[in-house]
Amino acid sequence: MTATNAILLELDRVSRAFGGVRAVDGASFAVRKGDIHGLIGPNGAGKTTLLNLISGLIRPTGGSILLGEARIDRLPPHRIAALGVARTYQNIRLFPELSALANVIVGEHLRRKGTTLQSMLFMPSARREHEAARERARALLARVGLLDRAEERASILSYGEQRRVEIARALAADPALLLLDEPTAGMNPSEVGAVGQLVMEVASQGQAVLLVEHNVKLVMGVCRRVTVLDFGKVIADGPPAAVAADPAVIAAYLGAKP
């Protein structure tokens, strides 16, 4: 990966207020194609709000968001998904009664513009297509180390396993940009290492990852660039080493760590 990678996502003075709270306050930064881009900051800094703005769950009260050439900040979530943005949630959102495999298959349908699950079922080729979708979903579960859990109901999986299913589901949409909101929360160290490895693999295939993480060691280890939010504002943005040495960051965030 070189410094000349094209910009994939560009935020220009993006703001979002909730009543009197400026959750995101004039944030500008860019994510480049194929980069792993860290987004860190103390609790309440506005990280999840920013992912909600990018994925279209909420709209900014100011500023603009570009994906490639397309302005996406006024588009509904399904349109943004169809343009190649997939995400996971800080609060896991799986279908608890469906199997791990079925949850991943659901993710595939997000990328099929204009093809609903229902219409697929009525197509003569539906069965063949369904088998192919199952195979792709099984391959994704294997990629996150969960093939042996494919048929288990999501609700009985451990917290870390559920997070991995969510990542597999997001990857099923084959996104140009993957948004991960605290993917390692509740994971043991070996699971954390595996997520780091997976994120690097994803990026090596040209997909960009915007990684919201409280695990600073992971962020500093895998990210090519890191943006730091504090009270909704970008207080630092640059290569991990420079960001980690920035006094404002140390004061706002790293300094607060024991």
**Nearest distance, CB of residue 141 and ligand ADP, angstroms:** 28
**Nearest distance, CB of residue 174 and ligand ADP, angstroms:** 26
- Rule CB under 5 A: say whether 49 interacts with Mg ion: no
Out of Mg ion, ligand ADP, none, which partner does residue 44 contact, by CB within 5 to 8 A per kind? ligand ADP
> Which residues of this chain interact with ligand ADP, rule CB under 6 A?
18, 21, 23, 41, 43-49
With tokens 């207020």, the residue in question is 17
Q: At a CB cut-off of 8 Å and minimum separation 6, what does 180 contact?
A: 87, 88, 167, 170, 199, 209, 210, 211, 212, 213
**Nearest distance, CB of residue 1 and ligand ADP, angstroms:** 27
- Rule CB under 5 A: say whether 215 interacts with Mg ion: no
Q: Could you give the residue ranges of the DSSP H alpha helices within the chain?
A: 47-54, 77-82, 100-109, 117-122, 126-143, 159-172, 189-204, 216-222, 240-244, 247-252
- Rule CB under 5 A: say whether 48 interacts with Mg ion: yes
3-state SS assignment for residue 239 = coil
Out of Mg ion, ligand ADP, none, which partner does residue 159 contact, by CB within 5 to 8 A per kind? none
Exposed/middle/buried for residue 228 (C-beta within 10 Å: 0-12, 13-18, 19+) = buried
Query: Is the Cβ of residue 23 or residue 172 nearer to ligand ADP in the bound state?
Result: 23
Out of Mg ion, ligand ADP, none, which partner does residue 106 contact, by CB within 5 to 8 A per kind? none
CA–CA dist 160, 184 (Å, integer): 7
Out of ligand ADP, Mg ion, none, which partner does residue 49 contact, by CB within 5 to 8 A per kind? ligand ADP
Query: Is the Cβ of residue 4 or residue 91 nearer to ligand ADP in the bound state?
Result: 91
Q: How many positions of this chain bind Mg ion (CB under 5 A)? A: 3
3-state SS assignment for residue 171 = helix
CA–CA dist 67, 172 (Å, integer): 20
Within 77-96, the residues that bind Mg ion by CB under 5 A are 90
**Nearest distance, CB of residue 112 and ligand ADP, angstroms:** 30
DSSP assigned state of 188: -
